[in-house]
Chain A
């Protein structure tokens, strides 16, 4: 059973604070599956500058960041697996798409997101993944198909 701490994750992912959204890897099976956590804190940048006296619902962790955190978890699995297999993935890591995403619950400050991701298809520099996000025993998201790609020589954020 492979586990990774935050220092290890920083060596795998190019993301940095405050957009590095994977804290710890609980279990990783190269080429196959990963379980990782991201703790949601009240000090997240997404909660900065919110108005006073908002209801609890205003502090639901944004779905966009949840999906990004899931995608980064998948990227850890993909890049770690590639490195283990002696392959180098050179270039910019890009979030390609997320399809068949169902959000069925929310996470709040103090909650720990637990992503379970498996590799669905690998085609060259493109990885398709699927999985779920849990908070304790509650499943709060199902992600049918998330695409991460590595592209050479382009600025991050361009989709073509």
Chain B
């Protein structure tokens, strides 16, 4: 894994953990936000809003259903931001 990817994943993990009110290390790459952390659509929109703010990007709301775990969030944000990690 590249350093850039590592850094971005850590930043996203931090955001997700803050919104879901858990410790960052509890957020695994493939762990479902809904199944493992009782996330709902309101938490999802909070995660999306914080990411948009931090990276100054617009994420189409149609992407929300896919953003169900950390890896999926990373993939969506990477695509929107043009990350070449």
Contact surface of A with B, Cβ cutoff 8 Å: 96-97, 121, 123-124, 126, 128, 147, 149, 159-160
Q: A residues within 8 A CB of B42?
A: 96-97, 147, 149, 159-160
The answer to whether B52 has its CB under 8 Å from any CB of chain A is yes
How far is A123 from B48 in the complex, measured between Cα atoms in Å? 9
**Chain B contact residue count (CB 8 A cutoff):** 10
Shortest B19–chain A CB gap in Å is 9
Tell me if A160 and B41 are in contact (CB < 8 A).
yes
Please list the residues of chain B having a beta carbon within 8 angstroms of any beta carbon in chain A.
Answer: 40-42, 45-46, 48-49, 52-53, 61
Query: How many Å lie between the Cα of A126 and that of B53 in the bound state?
Result: 14
Given A123-B61, A124-B61, A159 and B40 touching (CB < 8 A)?
Answer: yes
Smallest CB separation, A51 vs chain B (Å): 35
Contact A160 B40 (CB under 8 A): yes
**CA A33 to CA B43, docked complex, whole Å:** 25
Roughly how many angstroms separate A124 CA and B41 CA in the complex, as a whole number? 13
Q: Within 8 Å CB of B45, what residues of A?
A: 96, 123, 126, 147, 149
Question: A121 to B53, Cβ gap below 8 A?
Answer: yes
In the assembled complex, the Cα of A128 lies from the Cα of B61 at a distance in Å of 15
Q: Which residues of A contact B41 (CB under 8 A)?
A: 159-160
* Distance in angstroms between the alpha carbons of A160 and B34 in the assembled complex: 11
CB distance from B53 to the nearest CB of A (A): 6
In the assembled complex, the Cα of A159 lies from the Cα of B61 at a distance in Å of: 18
Bound together, the chains give a CA A108 to CA B5 distance in angstroms of 52
